[in-house]
Structure 1
């Protein structure tokens, strides 16, 4: 169905199906005609690719993805939208809708079953409250995905795509840099949505690395250290980690110094290699 971005079309479709927005699910539908074609183009919706879409709305992005990709599998948690999508996507035979919670699906099996012989990309317009958990689930499972292209809150996008060693970085920044390279593609104003949110958005993209950084002997411990390091942002690396992990300060300081860092360094000053070196030193000392 064309004109799915048109406010009049959106209202008419919603009225036909008795649909109302759910605040609990963070639903804001795109009504800017230029945004979804751009996401589809930059997000690898093209021949030879299968696209996993997370969160469909009424299908405005799904519609654009289906025009370019060989196959689209869209996962939508809200069962009320299924009859809406059956109408708005009726013309496409390369779209499959799955009414499930993305966090509860076996994504490796889904990709293997649905996208055999295809490269795989992920595209999503995610509710802000679930952005980081979904992105981390996709990355940590080491799925055979080329890119993840996601609409996020503008402020969150800056943090997700921050460079290591900069003030904007946080624990999620380290995790993303560990698994992928990240960049902001373009900004999207709050007026592009219905209902209009209180913040602006941006579209970010993560290109998954062929291999993760070397030197991490225990990933679970490494990310425990990373979360601990940024658990109290105003504190030094030593104070944050010792508090979060219940580690002796003397051991933490020694691990920091063995990594060639000042004992009073703050976590946002560390490069990826320094974070790895610190974690490995600490693992041996506690």
Structure 2
């Protein structure tokens, strides 16, 4: 099974880019973030024409998440992260596909920091810890995929001091991500590319894509029930260089069928 995550940065504006990538990469399951559309505006017809079923939770401005599948319709289990009934932001959706629970998330950016938005980011992280821990205790074969808005370590951002005050690289953000992984999750891209500078996001400003001045913000975390099935992971970097591209590139993993041994690449 090939599972991908892609911050599409406006699904209707980037729809031709998305459909071209779906056709060439042929992922089985895709998590999309930053739809920037309401539920009614989601391009479900075009997605279906591309061969994918979809579930989604839309919202104008910066939010909105969706799960696409070409291996059977996703069975929707959640449209919000538990822990705060007053939270109306469309940042989490969860569905079962072919025996795997897919959690698609768009974690708050947190800027400017310090301040209320950064506090909200850390509270959201705490709720994610609680839900992720429950999935582990229940031994669910799960993937938590999406834009975490955290560059976990210094190797996950190009050498620079220009981001030092940004919420994406603050010690509190990095510690929250590290605590999540230490629950027992496997960071699939880092597992398969240890010690490498692998980026998933390049800002539109100052030719940062052309200079490869990027950050690794998009992650797929695997529960122990899936970690042994991980065979490969990567970034479709060329998608970021296309006209009218999102500022993120798709990140993907491949899982072998149950019962195989681990083979990393």
Is the strand fraction higher in 1 or 2? 2
TM-score bin, normalised by smaller chain: 0.3 to 0.5
Higher CA-based Rg: 1
TM-score (norm 2): 0.37
Is the helix fraction higher in 1 or 2? 1
TM-score (norm 1): 0.35
- Which protein, 1 or 2, shows the higher relative CO under an 8 Å CA cutoff with sep ≥ 6? 2
